[in-house]
Amino acid sequence: MNKFGSRIRELRKSQGYSLRSLAPLVGVGFTYLSKVESGKLGFSESPSADLIIRLAKTLDADADELMLMAGRVPDSITQRILEQPEVFRRLVQCNDRQLRKFVAQAD
């Protein structure tokens, strides 16, 4: 099972939703939602950004986290990359230890 689908299932269950009760709240069929959770969507059927945002709102989750888990870059992150590409080029070159140190200093 994929990380995104697993996270959606975890959030859905923690909020007390069944597939059948959540699906209409986010505007999809329950079978589609089941495929999302199990990672059985075809390539052309990947969840849209709009659906991911609706899931985040309904399940009280972080939309950016879900977008990243689904392999999509949130607009807010894309915008920052476009504004400061040199910063992100440097970050990509950092190893995990350097990134953790950077985050610790930023906090």
Q: What pLDDT, in 10s, does the model give residues 33-67?
A: 999 999 898 776 789 999 999 999 999 999 999 99
* % of the chain residues with pLDDT over 70: 98
82 and 36 in one domain? Answer: no
Q: Is the Cβ–Cβ distance between 99 and 91 less than 8 Å?
A: yes
Its sign, for the CA torsion 48, 20, 25, 74, is negative
Q: Which domain holds residue 42?
A: 3-72
63 and 18 in one domain? Answer: yes
Q: Is the Cβ–Cβ distance between 63 and 52 less than 8 Å?
A: yes
**Would you call 4 exposed, middle or buried from its count of C-beta atoms within 10 A (0-12, 13-18, 19+)?**
buried
How far does Cα 10 stand from its chain's mean position? 13
22 and 62 in one domain? Answer: yes
pLDDT value at position 1? 46
